[in-house]
C-alpha cells in the first residue's frame, strides 16, 4: 500500500508543505541557523506531528477513521471503568455466573423482524417482602414477583434463587406458587431448609456462600399441581397425556380450544409468590431472584454456555486497542531507533542492524507465533512480544534510507560543525525530520497485530484469562454454532475485528501523503 490518489495528494500538499516532511533534507530555514537551541527542534517535531494530524482531519478516510477511533476509545473507557479487573477469570470463564441465562439465545431485537414474538429474558430480584402478615406461630412474609408474558413461544425455564436464609429456632418454611392469568394458582415447590446440626449455634445461616437455585419448571410438586389445574379448569379440552414433560410450556400455557391436545401460550399477567413462614421476627431471607428464561436475550444474545455476548464483545474493545497500541508503539520505537542508529552511525553498527533486520523480516511469523505460544504458554504479553520482535525490521529499513539522505544535508553538517554530539544530532536533528513519517508508519503496525492475535485466538491459542473477539469466534466454531446457524455468535466478533483493523487502515490511508513512496526508492 503506497502512493495516494491525486485527489488526496492535492489536498494533502496544501497542508503538509510547511512541515519538515518533504524529502528535501533541509528543514524550515528557521531551524537552520540556531539549530543548537533546543526549543526550536522540539517545536519543529511538534509542528510536524500537528500538521500530520491536520492532514488526517482533512480527508474523508481520515475523518471516518478518527470517528471510528473515538467510538472505540469511548467504549474502551466505559469497559475499563465499569468491568472488574479479573473479568476474564472471575466472570467470563465462570459458568456459575451464567447459570441463569438461556443457552444459544438470539438477541432481543430479533423480535422486531420475526413474525412470532419470542420470550424476553426476565430476571427480577426482591430484597424486601412485598407483604408481611402476623400469625400466631410467627410471621408470613410474601415476596411477590410480577411477570408479564405475552409471547408466541414458551419460556425456556422458570427458576428461583434464594440467598441468605437466617433463623434462630425452627427453620422457616418456604413455598413458591404461580398465579396465572386464568385465576388459577400452581403450587410450584417447597424449599427444605436444613435443620440445625448438633453443636451448631444460633443464628443459623443457610445459602450464604452458595445461593440455592430451584429450577421451578422441573419440580415434581409443580407437575402434580398443574395436572390437577388443567383437569379442573379446562374440563372439556383434550390435554396431552404428558403435560408434565414440558413443564416450562405447561406452566405458561393452556390446552388449545380446537381440541387438538396441544398446549398454547396463555398470555397475561403472572405473579410468582414466594411465601416464607418464619417463627421469629428476626429470621428471614436476604433476597429472592426469579428468572423467566427467555428465548431471546440481551443486546447480542448468548453463547452455548449462556454467556452474555454483549458483555464479551464490549470487553474486546479495550483488549483489541491495547494489543494494537502496545504492538505499534514498541515496534515503532525499536524500528525507528534502530533505523536512525543504522543510518547515521554506519560502519559495523549499520551492517549488523541491516543483516539482523534482513533475517528477521524473512521469518514467517504466524507459524513461529503458533509454535512459541504453544510451547511457552498462552499469554497475551507473549503474543505481543513475539509480534513486536518480528515486525520492526520493515520500519528500520525505511527509516535508514531516510536518514542516509538527511545525514548528508546541511542541517546535520551545520550541527556537526557546531560540535554537537552524535547522540544529540540523532535525537535533536534527525529524529524530528523523520517523526511524521514514523508516526504514519506506526499506524500500519496496528491492524496486523489485531489480526494476528485474532488468528491465534481462533486456533485456540488465545490467552484464557483475557477473552477476545477471536476467542469468542473460536468457541463458536469449535462447538459447531456455525453449522446450526447461531449467526449472532460468530458474525459480530468478526465484524468488530474487521472494523477495528479497518479504523487503523483508514487512518493509514489518510496518512499516506506523508509516507512518500519516493523516499523508499532512494537506498
Partner 1 sequence: MLTTLRQLAFRAVTLFGVLLAVLLLLVVSLGATGFSDDLLRAQVNEETRGLRQSLGQTIRDPDQLERTVAERQNELKRFYGLDRPWYTRLPEAVWRVLRLDLGEARSLRTAEGSNSVSDIVLERLPYTMLLLTTSSLITAVVGLLVGVRMATMVGSRLDRAVAYFAAISFAVPAWWLGILLIVIVAFQLDLLPASGMYSTPPPEGRLDRSLDLAHHAILPILTLVPVSVGPYIYTVRTMTVTVAQEDHVQLARAKGLPESQVTRRHILRVAAPPIVTGLILGLAGSLSGSILVETIFNWQGMGRLYFDAVSGAADEGVIVALTFVFTLMYVIARFVLDILYVLLDPRVRLQ
Residues at the contact surface with partner 1, assessed by CB under 8 A: 1-3, 5-7, 61, 355, 358-360, 362-368, 370-372, 374-376, 447, 451, 454-455, 458-461, 473, 477, 482-483, 485, 487, 490-491, 494, 497-499, 501-502, 505-506, 509, 517
Integer Cα distance of 153 and 242 in angstroms: 19
Contact criterion met (CB below 8 Å) for 294 and 119: yes
Which of 220, 144, 234, 223 lies closest to 184, judged by CA? 234
At closest approach, how far in Å is the CB of 371 from partner 1? 5
At closest approach, how far in Å is the CB of 67 from partner 1? 15
At closest approach, how far in Å is the CB of 198 from partner 1? 50
At closest approach, how far in Å is the CB of 398 from partner 1? 15
Q: Select 115 or 362, whichever has its Cβ closest to partner 1.
A: 362
Integer Cα distance of 490 and 476 in angstroms: 6
Q: Select 239 or 505, whichever has its Cβ closest to partner 1.
A: 505
At closest approach, how far in Å is the CB of 94 from partner 1? 24
Contact criterion met (CB below 8 Å) for 237 and 256: yes
At closest approach, how far in Å is the CB of 87 from partner 1? 24
At closest approach, how far in Å is the CB of 458 from partner 1? 6
Burial of 148 (0-12, 13-18, 19+ CB in 10 A): middle
Q: Select 239 or 309, whichever has its Cβ closest to partner 1.
A: 309
At closest approach, how far in Å is the CB of 261 from partner 1? 35
Q: Report helix angle 431-458 to 309-345, nearest 10.
A: 140
- Residue 113: CB atoms within 10 A of its CB come to 6
Q: How distant, in Å, are the alpha carbons of 84, 143, 346, 452 from that of 326?
A: 21, 52, 29, 14
Which of 253, 258, 206 lies closest to 226, judged by CA? 253
At closest approach, how far in Å is the CB of 316 from partner 1? 14
Q: Select 154 or 488, whichever has its Cβ closest to partner 1.
A: 488
State the Rg of the chain over Cα: 33
Which of 456, 158, 99 lies closest to 293, judged by CA? 158
Quick one: cell of 92? 467470563
Contact criterion met (CB below 8 Å) for 216 and 159: yes
Quick one: cell of 143? 415476596
Q: Select 151 or 505, whichever has its Cβ closest to partner 1.
A: 505
Which of 329, 405, 432, 313 lies closest to 44, judged by CA? 432
Cβ within 8 Å of residue 47, ≥6 positions away: 18, 19
Q: Select 81 or 375, whichever has its Cβ closest to partner 1.
A: 375
Which of 421, 424, 425 lies closest to 411, judged by CA? 425
Q: Select 192 or 377, whichever has its Cβ closest to partner 1.
A: 377
For β-strands 157-167 and 263-265, DSSP reports them as unpaired
Integer Cα distance of 359 and 282 in angstroms: 76
Q: Select 288 or 507, whichever has its Cβ closest to partner 1.
A: 507
- Residue 50: CB atoms within 10 A of its CB come to 14
At closest approach, how far in Å is the CB of 364 from partner 1? 4
Quick one: cell of 185? 394458582
Q: Select 239 or 511, whichever has its Cβ closest to partner 1.
A: 511
Q: Select 438 or 509, whichever has its Cβ closest to partner 1.
A: 509
At closest approach, how far in Å is the CB of 375 from partner 1? 5
Q: Select 363 or 418, whichever has its Cβ closest to partner 1.
A: 363
Amino acid at each position: 500500500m503506497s502512493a495516494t490518489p491525486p485527489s488526496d495528494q492535492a489536498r494533502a500538499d496544501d497542508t503538509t508543505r510547511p512541515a519538515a516532511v518533504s524529502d528535501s533534507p533541509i528543514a524550515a530555514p528557521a531551524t537552520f541557523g540556531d539549530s543548537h537551541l533546543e526549543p526550536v527542534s522540539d517545536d519543529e517535531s511538534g509542528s510536524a506531528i500537528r500538521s500530520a494530524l491536520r492532514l488526517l482531519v482533512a480527508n474523508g478516510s481520515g475523518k471516518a477513521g478518527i470517528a471510528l477511533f473515538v467510538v472505540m476509545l469511548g467504549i474502551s473507557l466505559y469497559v475499563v471503568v465499569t468491568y472488574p479487573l479479573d473479568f476474564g477469570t472471575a466472570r467470563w470463564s465462570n459458568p456459575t455466573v451464567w447459570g441463569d441465562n438461556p443457552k444459544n439465545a438470539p438477541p432481543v431485537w430479533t423480535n422486531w423482524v420475526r413474525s412470532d414474538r419470542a420470550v424476553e429474558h426476565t430476571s427480577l430480584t426482591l430484597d424486601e417482602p412485598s407483604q408481611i402478615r402476623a400469625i400466631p406461630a410467627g410471621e408470613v412474609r410474601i415476596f411477590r414477583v410480577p411477570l408479564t408474558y405475552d409471547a408466541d413461544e414458551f419460556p425456556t425455564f422458570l427458576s428461583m434463587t434464594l440467598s441468605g436464609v437466617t433463623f434462630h429456632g425452627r427453620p422457616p418454611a418456604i413455598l413458591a406458587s404461580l398465579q396465572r392469568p386464568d385465576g388459577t394458582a400452581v403450587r410450584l415447590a417447597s424449599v427444605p431448609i436444613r435443620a440445625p446440626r448438633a453443636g451448631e449455634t444460633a443464628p443459623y445461616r443457610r445459602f450464604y456462600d452458595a445461593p440455592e437455585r430451584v429450577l421451578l419448571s422441573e419440580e415434581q410438586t409443580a407437575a402434580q399441581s398443574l395436572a390437577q389445574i388443567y383437569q379442573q379448569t379446562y374440563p372439556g379440552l383434550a390435554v396431552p397425556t404428558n403435560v408434565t414433560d414440558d413443564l416450562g410450556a405447561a406452566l405458561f400455557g393452556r390446552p388449545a380450544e380446537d381440541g387438538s391436545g396441544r398446549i398454547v401460550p396463555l398470555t397475561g399477567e403472572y405473579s410468582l409468590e414466594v411465601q416464607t413462614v418464619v417463627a421469629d421476627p428476626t429470621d428471614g431471607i436476604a433476597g429472592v431472584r426469579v428468572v423467566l428464561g427467555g428465548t431471546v436475550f440481551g443486546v447480542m444474545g448468548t453463547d452455548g454456555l449462556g454467556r452474555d455476548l454483549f458483555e464479551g464483545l464490549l470487553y474486546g474493545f479495550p483488549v483489541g486497542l491495547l494489543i494494537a497500541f502496545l504492538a505499534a508503539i514498541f515496534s515503532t520505537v525499536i524500528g525507528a531507533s534502530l533505523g536512525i542508529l543504522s543510518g547515521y552511525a554506519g560502519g559495523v553498527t549499520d551492517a549488523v542492524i541491516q543483516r539482523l533486520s534482513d533475517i528477521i523480516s524473512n521469518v514467517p511469523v504466524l507459524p513461529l507465533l503458533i509454535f512459541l505460544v504453544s510451547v511457552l504458554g498462552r499469554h497475551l504479553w507473549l503474543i505481543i512480544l513475539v509480534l513486536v520482535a518480528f515486525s520492526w525490521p520493515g520500519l528500520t529499513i525505511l527509516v535508514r534510507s531516510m536518514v542516509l539522505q538527511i545525514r548528508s544535508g546541511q542541517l546535520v553538517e551545520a550541527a556537526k560543525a557546531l560540535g554537537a554530539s552524535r547522540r544529540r544530532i540523532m535525537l535533536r536533528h534527525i529524529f524530528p525530520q523523520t517523526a511524521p513519517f514514523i508516526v504514519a508508519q506506526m499506524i500500519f503496525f496496528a491492524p496486523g497485530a489485531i489480526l494476528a492475535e485474532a488468528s491465534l485466538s481462533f486456533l485456540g491459542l488465545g490467552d484464557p484469562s483475557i477473552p477476545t473477539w477471536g476467542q469468542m469466534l473460536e468457541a463458536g466454531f469449535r462447538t459447531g454454532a456455525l453449522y446450526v446457524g447461531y449467526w449472532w455468535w460468530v458474525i459480530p466478533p468478526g465484524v468488530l475485528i474487521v472494523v477495528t483493523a479497518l479504523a487503523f487502515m483508514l487512518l493509514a490511508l489518510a496518512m499516506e501523503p506523508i509516507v512518500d513512496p519516493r523516499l523508499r526508492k532512494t537506498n
